[in-house]
Structure 1
């Protein structure tokens, strides 16, 4: 039987390519779920809408609105909970913040702070810079503020919703100034 092993140079190149493409370790990961109490409220609203249609249809068609409306709150609440926040370590060993499709290497962060829920309205109100990157979820109280130091980027800072801003900043290796 012939030897089917690969040459060492091919194996090393394949290993390096797989290591670069492989997902790296994540020191922090969070999915921004909607509150649990929204689920019964969503099903109650869907039930009320289905009941309105039920009143106008006799027989078997009377239950059709309930069947059709049952997946609607599930889809809406899962869609609202689709946002993810992750601090990942790149193959070079540096931390990177990923919020949905946006990513920010920690080397571009000049300073960072946790924004308390009581200061959230001020941070999102008159003090908000229109050029800032904002990822806000109204059902999450605290936020993290990351001020950027990149002359090529017009974005002055990132303001992102997170349930644990201190853990996000610690995973990025940044001291919290808030």
Structure 2
């Protein structure tokens, strides 16, 4: 059962900026052939757009596992998840960042969630995940960490 799912797109202005590939291609290929440039430009734009779509990260909590991009970890090995906003998130991604941390960072997404890793065999101290819903993601991770018996007893 999926309890949380988010697709994390990089900055949403990128598809518009990618449109500049079309006139750039026309300019570069004009000495060869205007027609080749007119055909190649839109094809390159679509290829860049597909790469932008494919590169969007996904964060999901499903069946007792946290999936972030291509990585996954059982929630039993997770500590407290903390939502971090604005300037604090900037510092968490920069000067406070532990080089051993596992990252799923996307440009244009200001907030992050830091999830401590409690597995003694895992050298990763925490995961740092970009998110547009920091409070919701942190709450979903913390809820998934609670034992089922505790949830049923409430």
Bin the TM-score by the shorter chain. 0.7 to 0.9
- Say if 2:3 is the partner of 1:34: no
- Say if 2:25 is the partner of 1:50: yes
- Deviation digits for residues 136-158 of structure 1, max 9, x if unmatched? 11121111100111111111000
Deviation of 1:99 after TM superposition, in Å, equals 0.9
Please give the alpha-carbon distance, in whole angstroms, between the structure 2 residues aligned to 1:30 and 1:71: 29
Question: Is the contact between residue 30 and residue 37 of structure 2 (CA under 8 Å) also seen in structure 1?
Answer: no
Please give the alpha-carbon distance, in whole angstroms, between the structure 2 residues aligned to 1:139 and 1:78: 18
Output aligned runs, 1:45-84, within 5 Å.
45-57=20-32, 61-81=33-53, 82=55, 83-84=57-58
Please give the alpha-carbon distance, in whole angstroms, between the structure 2 residues aligned to 1:110 and 1:53: 53
Please give the alpha-carbon distance, in whole angstroms, between the structure 1 residues aligned to 2:61 and 2:42: 35
Structure 1, gaps ≥5 residues long: 1-24
Q: Give the TM-score of the pair, scaled to structure 2.
A: 0.81
Q: CA RMSD in A?
A: 2.0
- Deviation digits for residues 77-121 of structure 1, max 9, x if unmatched? 332343211111x2xxxx321012211221111211011122222
Q: How many matched pairs?
A: 142
Aligned residue number for residue 18 of structure 1? none
Output aligned runs, 1:1-178, within 5 Å.
25-43=1-19, 45-57=20-32, 61-81=33-53, 82=55, 83-88=57-62, 90=63, 95-174=64-143
In the TM superposition, structure 1's runs of 4+ consecutive aligned residues that sit over 3 Å from their partners are none
Deviation of 1:33 after TM superposition, in Å, equals 2.0
| Larger Rg, first or second structure (1 or 2) | 1
Name the structure where strand makes up a greater proportion of residues.
2
- Deviation digits for residues 39-59 of structure 1, max 9, x if unmatched? 22211x1122123135424xx
Structure 2, gaps ≥5 residues long: 145-154
Question: Is the contact between residue 34 and residue 77 of structure 1 (CA under 8 Å) also seen in structure 2?
Answer: no
Q: Give the TM-score of the pair, scaled to structure 1.
A: 0.71
